[in-house]
Amino acid sequence: MTPPGLDPQRGLVAAQATRRRFLTATGAAAALALTGELAGVRPAEALAPGSLGSAELFTLGVASGDPLPDAVVIWTRLAPEPTSPTGGMPARPVPVQWEVAEDERFRRVVRRGSARAVPESAHTVHVDVQGLRPRRHYWYRFRVGSQLSPVGRTRTAPAPGEAVAELSLAVASCQAIWEGWFTAYADMARRDHDAVLFLGDYIYEFGIDRGVRPDSAAVENTRQTVTLDEYRHRYAQYKLDPDLQAAHAAAPWIVTLDDHEVVDNWADEAHPSAPAAQFLVRRANGFRAYWEHMPLRLAQAPQGPDMQLYRRLRFGSLAEVNVLDTRQYRSDQAMGDGSKPPNPESQDPRRTLTGDRQEQWLLDGMAGSGTTWNVIGQQNALARLDTVAGPDVAVPMDTWDGYEGSRRRVLGGIAERGVDNVVSLGGDLHRSVASDLRLDFSDPSSPVMASEFVGTSIASGLDGQDLDPGGAVLLAENPHIRYCNFQRGYTSCTITPRTWKADYRVVDRVTVPDGEVSTRTTLVVEAGRPGIQES
């Protein structure tokens, strides 16, 4: 029996009741996470920029994201003391000037304006710059008084229907900062990508007392993030990394979250650490800090414990990227989570990973996209992952394996609608896994409906190795898996009307700051021919 409050078929009434319990239980303690307003603090006049002194304000760099043909979001945060609870800023708004230019030296400024960095949002700035031209590079910067931010470069998407000869997309996830240096981001920043797709685990919420970096054992890093201040501190800690800043400044990012932006393996309103109403307070804190530190539009700003993250971005007639959210709407993990044999609960067709509305949105959107490539950007592996050797089978309950009904509906829906050239991009596994996605993974002759490239982690998992014992089991037990690697890195994808080419970029060592990056393998999918081939 499913515990009360975790029924996968609960409707709108149950969801609204839980939100009411959340509001009643939290009161003023969650006012900031819910509304962005500080209790007892009246709106104040903006602080004169000159009164901030000479302290460096733009310590966390700049970023851009969610490119459209005529718009892009640009982001920064004012934080002279980035790891302090207030970022070292006074509890007053600060006017921030911004500029967007067609050249790196800002001789041809095409858009400029002013934004307010307010304490309620940790003095972050999100500007949705509109009126830009399609498929162009732009440079942007911010100014407070006489102090200038670093310069970032971004790029708008192609015009709707525009024939695009080539698109370059970097795919990354999972960056446990204490387990490695972000060398992969330094490599990513040097290569010319049109956009970066980040698929979750931007931070890790749990406290650690070890690590390869000099400050890993600092007391503030040993605490688990629960409060809004703690989540903000953790984002600042990550964003201080110069390689991560460089990757953000080199190209626009398209982001979605997974579990560690809140807490490990949470599912909708459920986590064993707390009752639902209490957990939703933590979720609201995590969501708010996430939005504050990501280059996202106002449409993605959280409303308490709710956040609209699934969305689409189109790149001319070449590709449409469907960005999923597989945390907010999922049923609780089957059989208490972990790796288990397929079971009645994991195979229950009523259970869902995406929620009914998002699932229908995904399938209808791909059926009507009109683009050559239909891309699913999501957090886990769609492919079946038998993790034990021999005749027994055990699959992870936190991935699509634990939600067999969802997987069958998605892959079956692709087949029923005749959607061509579907590529799933995933993360979370801390290993690279490239797979053919079949309608029936137990039947090697079942038709291939899509191709999947799961990318490894940026740093999570330490150095790793080319093929670890777990990877050897995956290759032996899952004939649909075409490639596996257990080193750190990211995936660099080159997309044309004829082919999808995935370069798996790996770092030989992340436990030192000077690791070497190379292309471990290149895999190809041909348009009109489902399935992965070696280059």
pLDDT in tens, the chain (535 residues): 322 222 323 233 334 444 444 444 444 445 555 544 443 334 456 666 666 767 899 999 999 999 999 999 999 999 999 999 899 999 999 999 999 999 999 999 999 999 999 999 999 999 999 999 999 999 999 999 999 999 999 999 999 999 999 999 999 999 999 999 999 999 999 999 999 999 999 999 998 878 999 887 777 778 899 999 999 999 999 999 999 999 999 999 999 999 999 999 999 999 999 999 999 999 999 999 999 999 999 999 999 999 999 999 999 999 999 999 999 999 999 999 999 999 999 999 999 999 999 999 999 999 999 999 999 999 999 999 999 999 999 999 999 999 999 999 999 999 999 999 999 999 999 999 999 999 999 998 999 999 999 999 999 999 999 999 999 999 999 999 999 999 999 999 999 999 999 999 999 999 999 999 999 999 999 999 989 998 8
Q: Fold match between 49-153 and 167-534?
A: no
Q: What is the pLDDT of residue 209?
A: 75
The Cβ of residue 25 has, within 10 Å, a number of other Cβ atoms equal to 15
> What is the spatial distance between Cα 373 and Cα 497, in angstroms, rounded to a whole number?
8
Residue with tokens 């239980």: 25
Q: What is the pLDDT of residue 13?
A: 34
> What is the spatial distance between Cα 190 and Cα 184, in angstroms, rounded to a whole number?
10
Q: What is the domain class of 167-534 according to CATH?
A: alpha beta
The Cβ of residue 157 has, within 10 Å, a number of other Cβ atoms equal to 28
Residue with tokens 């971005």: 313
DSSP state at residue 267: B
DSSP state at residue 325: -
> What is the spatial distance between Cα 171 and Cα 194, in angstroms, rounded to a whole number?
11
What is the per-residue DSSP string for 184-218?
HHHHHHHS--SEEEE-S-SS--S--S--SSTTTT-
Architecture (CATH level 2) of domain 49-153: Sandwich (2.60)
How many Å separate Cα 183 from the centre of its chain? 19
Q: What is the pLDDT of residue 7?
A: 31
Collect all residues with Cβ–Cβ distance below 8 Å to 166 and sequence separation of at least 6: 494, 495, 496
Residue 243, helix vs strand vs coil: helix
Judge contact between 535 and 493, C-beta under 8 A.
Answer: no
Extents of the domains making up the chain: 49-153, 167-534
- Classify burial at 236, counting beta carbons within 10 Å of its beta carbon; exposed 0-12, middle 13-18, buried 19 or more: buried
In angstroms, what CA-CA distances link 253 with 74, 193, 301, 491? 10, 10, 16, 14
Collect all residues with Cβ–Cβ distance below 8 Å to 404 and sequence separation of at least 6: 342, 346, 347, 349
